[in-house]
A = this chain, B = another copy of it.
Amino acid sequence: MRIVVLAGGIGGARFLRGLQRASPDADITVIGNTGDDIHLFGLKVCPDLDTVMYTLGGGINEEQGWGRTDETFHLKEELAAYGVGPEWFGLGDRDFATHIVRTQMLSAGFPLSAVTEALCDRWKPGVRLIPMSDDRVETHVAVTLPDSGERKVIHFQEYWVRLRASVAAEAVVPVGADQAKPAPGVLEAIAEADVILFPPSNPVVSIGTILAVPGIREAIADAGVPVVGLSPIVGDAPVRGMADKVLAAVGVESTAAAVAEHYGSGLLDGWLVDTVDASAVERVESAGIRCRAVPLLMSDLDASARMAREALTLAEEVRGA
């Protein structure tokens, strides 16, 4: 079975680990969000791609869900001693190596997709990980700074990591997305997929950004195979992260049903909500999307695997319908 998964960072990565457990023989292609990429210290940093790669490759810091295990931060301390920031972005000594190798390969002329493949040669994540695009896309967020009242457009990472989404996101713009082309292999993988899954990743700044690359949304809608998603909102709040803030920016309420409607029945065939949101099933189904309520907390690998199984089961229901 060929499965295509659109993935952001932590939520996508943990779901993928469950999917590998649930379907060990599946041929999984991951289309990774690159909208949260950022240039820091002259290096190209791809947080979501790395979180997927490290998580599936066994190098992730399990507690925090991003960055490397057994990590030190000496380089960052020294940059701070030189007065060179930003200090709010936590790059560890081991993690830096990934960005250095990536930046060197990009400088040598390799596209990001080839670089990602080369990095995965080491990590062997057990999936094919493709960035959504080789072109530069960077999500920016419009905010009003509380102190000065100044309206400012900042990089998504600054909004998310530095400000911890503490102010309203007035607009979320995937800068460059409209000019970006899907990376080689993205449209082919979608066209050849048996199932397409949206993990409980952020519907705006992760999956939404991937869908903003011209051609990807259309390819998924036209693939003619079940497209099933899992709600990142449980009980009207994000399971982790601050998805509610960026959902508000696109005018979507933070409920499991509203996110399904935001994707829409033109894209989504099936939707899993958590058992606490069982009352949303009817609303989602009335929007033309088949819906089931199942436990959606990825508390451990077994729980993630059960969620993946539920998603695949729903996909088969859609296919048989």
Interface residues of A (CB under 8 A from B): 41-43, 71-72, 74-79, 81-84, 92-94, 96-98, 100-101, 103-104, 107, 119, 122
Number of copies: 2
For the complex formed, measure the closest distance between the CB of A9 and the CB atoms of chain B, giving whole angstroms.
20
Contact B93 A79 (CB under 8 A): no
For the complex formed, measure the closest distance between the CB of A120 and the CB atoms of chain B, giving whole angstroms.
11
Q: Which residues of B contact A78 (CB under 8 A)?
A: 93-94, 96-98
Secondary structure at chain A's binding surface: helix, strand, loop or mixed? helix
State whether A82 and B97 are in contact (beta carbons under 8 Å apart), knowing that A72-B72, A72-B74 are contacts in the complex. Answer: yes
Tell me the complex Cα distance, A53–B54, Å.
Answer: 37
For the complex formed, measure the closest distance between the CB of A96 and the CB atoms of chain B, giving whole angstroms.
5
Cβ-neighbour of A93 out of B42, B43, B93 (below 8 A): B93
For the complex formed, measure the closest distance between the CB of A58 and the CB atoms of chain B, giving whole angstroms.
12
Contact B107 A42 (CB under 8 A): yes
Contact A72 B97 (CB under 8 A): no
By CB atoms of chain B within 10 A, which of A97, A101, A104, A119 has the most? Answer: A97
Q: Which residues of B contact A94 (CB under 8 A)?
A: 74-75, 77-78
Instruction: List 5 contacting pairs A-B, 8 Å CB cutoff, sorted by A.
Output: A42-B104, A75-B93, A79-B97, A79-B101, A82-B122
Contact A75 B96 (CB under 8 A): yes
Contact B84 A72 (CB under 8 A): no
Tell me the complex Cα distance, A72–B78, Å.
Answer: 12
Q: Which residues of B contact A119 (CB under 8 A)?
A: 82
Contact A84 B104 (CB under 8 A): yes
Q: Which residues of B contact A77 (CB under 8 A)?
A: 94, 97
- Closest partner residue, chain B, to A41 (CB atom): B100
By CB atoms of chain B within 10 A, which of A78, A81, A84, A96 has the most? Answer: A78
Q: Which residues of B contact A101 (CB under 8 A)?
A: 41, 79, 82, 84
Q: Which residues of B contact A100 (CB under 8 A)?
A: 41-43, 75, 79, 84
- Closest partner residue, chain B, to A73 (CB atom): B93
Q: Which residues of B contact A75 (CB under 8 A)?
A: 75, 93-94, 96-97, 100
By CB atoms of chain B within 10 A, which of A71, A98, A101 has the most? Answer: A101
Contact B41 A104 (CB under 8 A): yes
Contact B41 A81 (CB under 8 A): no
Q: Which residues of B contact A96 (CB under 8 A)?
A: 75, 78, 93, 96
Q: Which residues of B contact A97 (CB under 8 A)?
A: 74-79, 81-82, 84
By CB atoms of chain B within 10 A, which of A43, A72, A93, A96 has the most? Answer: A93
For the complex formed, measure the closest distance between the CB of A57 and the CB atoms of chain B, giving whole angstroms.
11
- Closest partner residue, chain B, to A83 (CB atom): B122
Tell me the complex Cα distance, A72–B92, Å.
Answer: 12
Tell me the complex Cα distance, A100–B98, Å.
Answer: 14
For the complex formed, measure the closest distance between the CB of A123 and the CB atoms of chain B, giving whole angstroms.
9
Tell me the complex Cα distance, A79–B93, Å.
Answer: 11
For the complex formed, measure the closest distance between the CB of A121 and the CB atoms of chain B, giving whole angstroms.
8
Tell me the complex Cα distance, A78–B92, Å.
Answer: 11
Contacts beyond the supplied A41-B100, A72-B72: 20 A-B pairs with Cβ under 8 Å: A41-B101, A41-B104, A42-B100, A42-B103, A43-B100, A72-B74, A74-B93, A74-B94, A74-B97, A75-B75, A75-B94, A75-B96, A75-B100, A78-B98, A81-B97, A82-B98, A83-B122, A84-B97, A84-B104, A93-B93
